[in-house]
Structure 1
Amino acid sequence: MDHKDVFAALQMVCSDVISALNGSRNNSSNADATDRLLGVMRQIQEHCRAVEPLITGFTAVYHHFDLDAQTPGNGYRTLVKVVHSCIIHILQKARYIASNCTGAFFRMDHNMAEMDAYCSALCQLRALLYLAQVLLNDNAHGQLYSQEEGGLSERFVREYTSILYCFTGFSPSLRPFLQTVVISMVSFGENYKKQQTGLGIAALSFFTSGKYVVDPELRGTEFERITQNLDMQFWKTFWNLTETELLSSLTRIASTVVQVNVILTIPAVSLSLPLASDPSFSVSMNPPVAHWGPGPVKVRLISHTLRQGQDSAELLALSRPEGPQLSLPGGFSRQTAPLSPCLLVHFHGGGFVAQTSKSHENYLKSWSKDLNVPILSVDYSLAPEAPFPRALEECFYAYCWALKNCHLLGSTAERVCLVGDSAGGNLCITVSMRAMSHGVRVPDGIVAAYPATLLTTDASPSRLLTLIDPLLPLSVLYKCIDAYAGMSCQSVQPAQQLDTLAALGQDTVKLLTNFAQGATNWFQTLLDPKAASSSSSTTSSNGPSTSKSHSVEKPQEVKEYPDNFEPLRSRCLVDIQTPCSPIMKNPFVSPLLAPDSLLKGLPPVHIVASALDALLDDSVMLAKKLRNMNQPVTLTVVEDLPHGFLSLFQLSKETQEASDICVKRIREVFQQEELPADQRQPGLN
């Protein structure tokens, strides 16, 4: 349905509702609610009259920001899509009210409250459109990110910290789950400061969650408190709940059964690898050393089929089995399969601060079966205790070790693919750039799902989605950037304390303190611009921080909105720390900013992004940059799914289809045409 037809239909239905309510007003037993509903319907009409020309303007030009005509997708399209979804919901509800408002069983209070919530959502989306219009007017043609130093992005941060959060537009099949996540987050946050273990808090939260299910207003108030006042440690603890044995055991029941699932500890020793340009020469690869010196790297080996080398004494000396997989469950052959010509190396997501391969093994097990290849997933050290470049060093070292020891992993490594989601997608690209800069073999391809390719605070239309995404609010995004850049690093920890799953809970507890602080603060400032917070500089063990603090004192001279409009404002004070460090522009932190000389050496890059992801524009701009350099790149934009959809792949048909797209791209890397013999880079045996 064309957007003009949708707006026309809504204006007509609103008029019908107003006429029906005016006709029944004198006979209504709840005149106050009737008057309020009349006011809401008139507000909706006013918002629609203002929003329609904005939508028309964006639809006329948003195709200029796509990768190509076959790949429609960018932040401007997404904003239009979300507004359209909101209008459709309002239209359906208004039709119901117009048909039933005079009935004896019509619940005036309930329907007024529901329509008022939709009106608030439309008001906030209208504000986002005005902000996006500023970006559209100020940015260069086809450019999605602000190129202005400071000013424009800082003005948007100021708006982020004051506009009220209201609306999400994800796939209908995922909405119940996402609502459950929000309720769980709220309940967990209520009990977070109590003296309980992580699992104890989760159990206590289960018994207190009922009130948030039946009372959406209470849920919204508590959600605002959590996202504004709790710290990073809260968020890391919450994200790592999937790492607990109870929850992982439950998910394991529904996951694909594999014959090999072991944790390996790669020792910190130097490796000798042949030069990619001339295999007769070799280069020495040192183990990771950043921040605390050489240390081992933990990885997880997953294989649906037991292959040669995977049961060798050499591998078993490095391994620790997890779960019953090594016992070769019934239905599996005990014969050892030959080495696979392919190897998949995986880097998990989690904002560089949370999770391990354990949180991602469900879809990795499924991929191992579908692709019939062994998978090596790297459990790199997490920020803020292990900021850049520790994770990159560990992932690169694990990649080099896999090339050197592919025969132990059940592969000849004739074809090697790197795959990762979110932060892991970033690491796939930067590991490949590091391989090229060190002269060793680069992988045969990269598959990056919703990768973070620009770890700066630059504004873009898709990053406006942090206002409506409960899973990735702006302050959480900024906390992740701040932690990885090393600006919140308090102390240096030995590698062995960071790399064990047993220490994960302890690591989690530490990270939650800073993380929820920003997220909580941000969502609360989404309610009232009158609250003020002063800017201050913080000091870390490494010296003064360069983060900037934004306070919600006054709109200042912001002219994003017309004189007759103001978005709903937060009731709560917020002080959001804006990361600001030269490290953020390091090409091995933000590969979108890498020079052509580094990107030219990348293998084919396949990006799978989501239309409802705040990082969508990261993917689009990287694909454009690679395409303009004549580098092989593909971009697939899936609809109606949130950031992190791979971890939800068993929950809906849409997430399963998105996972299948990733599998298809990986298979393309493994099956791409062989290079001539003199250009082939064999695995290292």
Structure 2
Amino acid sequence: MDLHSITQSLVTLAEDNMAFFSSQGPGETARRLSSVFAGVREQALGLEPALGRLLSVAHLFDLDAETPANGYRSLVHTARCCLAHLLHKCRYVASNRRSIFFRTSHNLAELEAYLAALTQLRALAYYGQRLLAINRPGGLFFEGDEKITAEFLREYVTLHKGCFYGRCLGFQFTPAIRPFLQTISIGLVSFGEHYKRNETGLSVTASSLFTSGRFAIDPELRGAEFERIIQNLDVHFWKAFWNITEIEVLSSLANMASATVRISRLLSLPPEAFEMPLTSDPKLTVTISPPLAHTGPGPVLIRLISYDLREGQDSEELNSLVKSEGPRGLELRPRPQQAPRSRSLVIHIHGGGFVAQTSRSHEPYLKGWAQELGAPIVSIDYSLAPEAPFPRALEECFFAYCWAVKHCALLGSTGERICLAGDSAGGNLCFTVSLRAAAYGVRVPDGIMAAYPVTTLQSAASPSRLLSIMDPLLPLSVLSKCVSAYSGAETEDQSDSDQKALGMMGLVRRDTSLLLRDLRLGASSWLNSFLELSGRKSQKSSIAPVESMRRSVSEAALAQPECPLTLKELSLKGSSEATDTPEMSLSVETLGPNTPSDVNFFLRPEHPREEDEVKEELNPKDRSQGVSNAFPEGFHPRRSSQGAIRMPLYSAPIVKNPFMSPLLAPDSMLKTLPPVHMVACALDPMLDDSVMFARRLRGLGQPVTLRVVEGLPHGFLSLAALCRETRQATELCVERIRLVLSPPPAAPPP
């Protein structure tokens, strides 16, 4: 059924049910049922025009005709799911309302819950219309005055969210995934209750299991508690909850259900610099220094996973790097015959919002990948925020990537084909590691597979990010807290109850992260790596010092407070060759007159990008309007009763760094990326990140593919064994990796 048919059928049934219960006398239950059907009728009639408007222009924001996906389509689809559920419920009531077995209270509670959800979805549809008015044509993210974005978010975050986490939880997803989401939400609110009591580790998990019953039988209580948690608990709570899968008992159970591999070993890479050949001239080398940001040199952990025991994987040199993990760390068993080295290597970077999880959480599906691809997999365990904010994770991932490329023979591979693969935050790091490899002039991977990646870490509004109001895995406030932690700008305002919940070690970690944040603001160590590149890209005997370059940049900044340096003048490859017209400029600000290292760079567009494929022009008057008049007269969405939400409404300047938000990178940097294959979710708040990144690459003539799966939440790779839909989506990721490792033969020239 099309949208209009669904709406008309729903309105007709709602009116019929409303008339029936209005005639049942003055009873409270009959009055509430009559009222809820009147509300369904009102909201459905008001929602249809707004959805029709979004649907009429949604095709303008698709990547191409074969990929009909963007946030506007997702908003319409989600609203249709809610309308369809209400239509089914109204039919059921109309057919059974006279039966003695009709459960009046149950049906009333469900109808009221979905009416609340429909009301909030109507608000999202109006917000979607406002985004159409204020965004540039074809853009899914707002680019302009951050005050407008802050105003939008300030209004948006006050919306009531609890209705989406009770009876309506996961209604937009495929039915097979909903029981799991319900289990996760019950576990979350139970975990949050005991987290406040300063319980930790396995004890809080066990306590949660015993006390979660009341949240299972009372969906309204669960929804209210879920909303309170996402608005008030800090990033340390989410780190602790997401890391439950790291507990030995749970990780062992997960691994029992996964493929059996010959090798799963944790390696510790020593923090020692090494040389890498330049792709332009292998006789020249560049020095790859160990990670230095925030905490100084330190080892980097990687996990080697291989279905077969291959040549080099049992060498003394590799064995010397093995880090003990207790009983599970010794998975290498004797085998009569070694398999030859694979021609391929997969380097994996895990997700977790930059703040949680390790390769251990992602090991179950990685074992399946190793079996299906017949290639060794290296998964990088980078340091996590807020204790290790940007750019520590990027430095460690780049160091580990270069080490793996240089020592692929030890890992059981000849290194003929190398694929970088990651999900969510790991997808972001795959892009930035590749950009950094190109900047250093070393080998870039042969391709990238990124599942539901995050490509911009700004607090930017987009139609798909509006879905975070109902997403049980990626609520907006949680996204904001993760980004704030990764950028080093974690809020200092914490309540006494939250501090108690952290415990002594948690407070130590927090204080340490705040100290490191202050050091970062004073050092901007990510810039230093750029400035050192031109000196490193020569033979070791001719490496030039970079202090003079730092001094010249600092003196230019002192002479002129805002001194634009285009990419022609500061080439990331250390080249003096001029590029085409630069898309971005680099502005310089100094934090101290005698501190050359205190130089902050941030990107700023020099001119807007044209979108030729978008034909429709929006009313300029609409663009100048704010968000206060987003709703028509007489419509009032439900507001949260949980008080003010703790989340920053302005983005820190550092999130505009292209090595943090690759979507904001200039064209000259994006052109250095290898073929990119993305797998996104239609109902993921991060969908627009993938669509816009693919559009930028497509516009530059870069090879890129985007596949969008339906009905699944963000993070489906960790749910690979859950149901048929998640298995199919995981197989799609494997297929994309296989395209990198075994590309189809090139077509012969005409």
Scaled by the length of structure 1, the TM-score of the pair is: 0.88
SS at match of 2:346: strand
Aligned 8 A contact 1:342 1:373 in 2: yes
1:565 aligns with 2:639: no
Task: Kindly report structure 1 stretches of 4+ aligned residues shifted beyond 3 Å.
Answer: 321-329, 505-515, 539-546, 673-676
* Aligned match for 1:98, one of 94, 97, 101: 94
One-letter identity of the residue aligned with 2:656: K
Aligned 8 A contact 2:152 2:627 in 1: no
1:222 aligns with 2:292: no
Deviation at residue 675 of structure 1 after TM alignment: 9.4
* Aligned match for 1:622, one of 693, 699, 716: 693
> In structure 2, how many angstroms separate the alpha carbons of the residues matched to 1:378 and 1:433?
17
> In structure 2, how many angstroms separate the alpha carbons of the residues matched to 1:488 and 1:10?
46
Deviation at residue 137 of structure 1 after TM alignment: 1.5
Aligned 8 A contact 1:363 1:646 in 2: yes
In structure 2, the partner of 1:317 is: 320
In structure 2, the partner of 1:599 is: 670
> In structure 2, how many angstroms separate the alpha carbons of the residues matched to 1:144 and 1:203?
43
Instruction: Check 1:458–1:135 CA distance in 2 against 1; reply closer, same or farther (3 A cut).
Output: same
In structure 2, the partner of 1:487 is: 489
Deviation at residue 295 of structure 1 after TM alignment: 1.3
SS at match of 1:401: helix
SS at match of 2:271: coil
Deviation at residue 424 of structure 1 after TM alignment: 0.4
In structure 1, the partner of 2:659 is: 588
One-letter identity of the residue aligned with 2:389: P
SS at match of 1:154: helix
> In structure 2, how many angstroms separate the alpha carbons of the residues matched to 1:651 and 1:206?
20
1:405-437 per-position Cα deviation (integer Å, ceiling 9, x unaligned): 001000011000000001100000000000001
Instruction: Check 1:145–1:56 CA distance in 2 against 1; reply closer, same or farther (3 A cut).
Output: same
1:425-461 per-position Cα deviation (integer Å, ceiling 9, x unaligned): 0000000000001000000000000111001011100
> In structure 1, how many angstroms separate the alpha carbons of the residues matched to 2:345 and 2:697?
25
In structure 1, the partner of 2:441 is: 439
1:404 aligns with 2:403: no
1:61 aligns with 2:57: yes
Percent sequence identity is: 53
One-letter identity of the residue aligned with 2:315: S
Moved more, 291-300 or 301-310: 291-300
In structure 2, the partner of 1:180 is: 183
Instruction: Check 1:64–1:241 CA distance in 2 against 1; reply closer, same or farther (3 A cut).
Output: same
Deviation at residue 657 of structure 1 after TM alignment: 0.7
> In structure 2, how many angstroms separate the alpha carbons of the residues matched to 1:673 and 1:278?
28
SS at match of 2:632: coil
Aligned 8 A contact 1:232 1:512 in 2: no
One-letter identity of the residue aligned with 1:213: A
In structure 1, the partner of 2:610 is: none
Aligned 8 A contact 2:345 2:377 in 1: yes
> In structure 2, how many angstroms separate the alpha carbons of the residues matched to 1:210 and 1:652?
25
SS at match of 1:576: coil
* Aligned match for 1:80, one of 64, 76, 87: 76
Aligned 8 A contact 2:420 2:449 in 1: yes
Instruction: Check 1:666–1:305 CA distance in 2 against 1; reply closer, same or farther (3 A cut).
Output: same
> In structure 2, how many angstroms separate the alpha carbons of the residues matched to 1:162 and 1:301?
46
Aligned 8 A contact 1:237 1:509 in 2: no
One-letter identity of the residue aligned with 1:486: G
SS at match of 2:646: strand
Instruction: Check 1:325–1:318 CA distance in 2 against 1; reply closer, same or farther (3 A cut).
Output: closer
1:311-335 per-position Cα deviation (integer Å, ceiling 9, x unaligned): 1111000013555575556xx9542
In structure 1, the partner of 2:310 is: 307
Deviation at residue 391 of structure 1 after TM alignment: 0.5
1:448 aligns with 2:518: no
In structure 2, the partner of 1:460 is: 462
Aligned 8 A contact 1:76 1:132 in 2: yes
Deviation at residue 285 of structure 1 after TM alignment: 1.1
Aligned 8 A contact 1:236 1:512 in 2: no
> In structure 1, how many angstroms separate the alpha carbons of the residues matched to 2:389 and 2:228?
28
1:348 aligns with 2:350: yes
Ranges in structure 1 where 5+ consecutive residues have no aligned partner? 491-504, 516-538, 547-555, 677-685
> In structure 1, how many angstroms separate the alpha carbons of the residues matched to 2:329 and 2:657?
41
1:489-530 per-position Cα deviation (integer Å, ceiling 9, x unaligned): 99xxxxxxxxxxxxxx99878779999xxxxxxxxxxxxxxx
* Aligned match for 1:659, one of 703, 706, 730: 730
1:649 aligns with 2:720: yes
> In structure 2, how many angstroms separate the alpha carbons of the residues matched to 1:48 and 1:512?
47
Deviation at residue 475 of structure 1 after TM alignment: 1.1
SS at match of 1:287: coil
Instruction: Check 1:461–1:327 CA distance in 2 against 1; reply closer, same or farther (3 A cut).
Output: closer
Deviation at residue 338 of structure 1 after TM alignment: 0.4
> In structure 1, how many angstroms separate the alpha carbons of the residues matched to 2:91 and 2:188?
34
In structure 1, the partner of 2:576 is: none
1:6 aligns with 2:2: no
1:149-196 per-position Cα deviation (integer Å, ceiling 9, x unaligned): 213321221123210113341111111100110000000111113243
Scaled by the length of structure 2, the TM-score of the pair is: 0.80
In structure 2, the partner of 1:231 is: 234
Deviation at residue 305 of structure 1 after TM alignment: 0.5
Aligned 8 A contact 2:234 2:481 in 1: no
Moved more, 66-75 or 569-578: 569-578
In structure 2, the partner of 1:613 is: 684
Deviation at residue 141 of structure 1 after TM alignment: 1.6
In structure 2, the partner of 1:288 is: 291
Moved more, 576-585 or 308-317: 576-585
Moved more, 239-248 or 190-199: 190-199
Aligned 8 A contact 1:463 1:614 in 2: yes
Aligned 8 A contact 1:66 1:620 in 2: yes
* Aligned match for 1:384, one of 386, 404, 416: 386
One-letter identity of the residue aligned with 1:644: G
Cα RMSD of the aligned pairs, angstroms, is 2.5
> In structure 1, how many angstroms separate the alpha carbons of the residues matched to 2:506 and 2:59?
43
> In structure 2, how many angstroms separate the alpha carbons of the residues matched to 1:203 and 1:238?
13
In structure 1, the partner of 2:139 is: 143
Moved more, 506-515 or 586-595: 506-515
Instruction: Check 1:489–1:430 CA distance in 2 against 1; reply closer, same or farther (3 A cut).
Output: farther
In structure 2, the partner of 1:360 is: 362
